[in-house]
Amino acid sequence: MVRTRLEGQTVLVTGGAGNIGAAISRAFAAEGARVAVHYLAQDAPPPADTEWGHITPAASAADALAEELGHGAFAVSADLSAPEAPARLVRDVVGVAGPINVVVNNAAHCESPDTVDTLTPGSLERHYRVNAIAPALLTAEVARARRGEEPLSVVNISTDAARAFPGQTGYGTSKAALEALTRSMALDLAGRGVRVNAVAPGPVQTGWIGEDLIEQAKAIVPMGRVGDPEDIADAVVFLASHQARWITGQVLQVAGGHAL
C-alpha cells in the first residue's frame, strides 16, 4: 500500500477486539491511524436449543489490544442490538477522539441452528438488529456528525453467505441486506464526498475451522486455501484509503474465488 493517507485519522472498528476485527484494527494502526476498538461488554445468553456462532472478547482483551496498537487507540463498549446504541457509540468516540474518518461495520451476530425449519421471529430479529440495522444507523449517525470536508469512508463486512449458504438463513439474508444498504447509502452520500463499500469474506480461519473442514474448504476454494484475518484486513484498509478515493457502492469479494 502507498499513499493510504490514514495517518492521524480516527477509525471506529465495531467488533474490533477479536479475530477479523482485531486484524482490521492492527492494519489501520500500522498506517498510523487512531483506532476506537469497539467491543460488546456482555452477550445475552442464547435461548434454549440455540448456540451463538460468534465470539465476545472480554473487556480486558479490547483494552490490551488498544494498548498494543498505540497511536491513541482506545476501547469502547456498546451493545449494538440496542436501538439507541449506535448514536451513543458515535458520541463516545467523538468525545474522546474527535471526528470519525473511517467506520468499519464488522460486528456481527450469528447463531445456530439457522435453517428455514428452525426460523423464529426472535432469531431473525437478533440477526438483523446487529448485522443490518446497527450498521445502517451507525453510518447515518457518523454522516450526520461529520463537519465540513472531513474525510469519511465506511466499509461494511458482509460474507459470501449473502449470496447463498445452506443453513444460514437469518445470517446470510441479514448480510445481503447489509450489501443492499451499502449500495443505497453510497448513492445517498456520494454527493457529500462520503464513500460506502463492503468486503465479503469467504471461509476465514478464526479458530472455528477444524482440520477436516480445512480440507473441505481447500476443495471448494479455487485458490486452494482458507483465508486469514489479514487477507480481509488488507482489503478493508485499501477501500478506506486514498487509493480507493473513486470507489463507492462496491462489494469486494475476498474469498480466493469461493462462491463466484
Please list the active-site residues: 171
Residue 237: phi and psi, rounded to 5, are -60, -40
Q: Nearest CA to 168 among 119, 238, 135, 217?
A: 119
3-state secondary structure of 136: helix
**Cell 446470510 maps to which residue?**
172
195 CB-contact burial (10 Å; exposed 0-12 / middle 13-18 / buried 19+): buried
To which H or E segment does residue 113 belong? none
**Cα dihedral across residues 92, 56, 230, 247: positive or negative:** negative
Q: Residue 142 corresponds to which cell in the numbers above?
A: 457518523
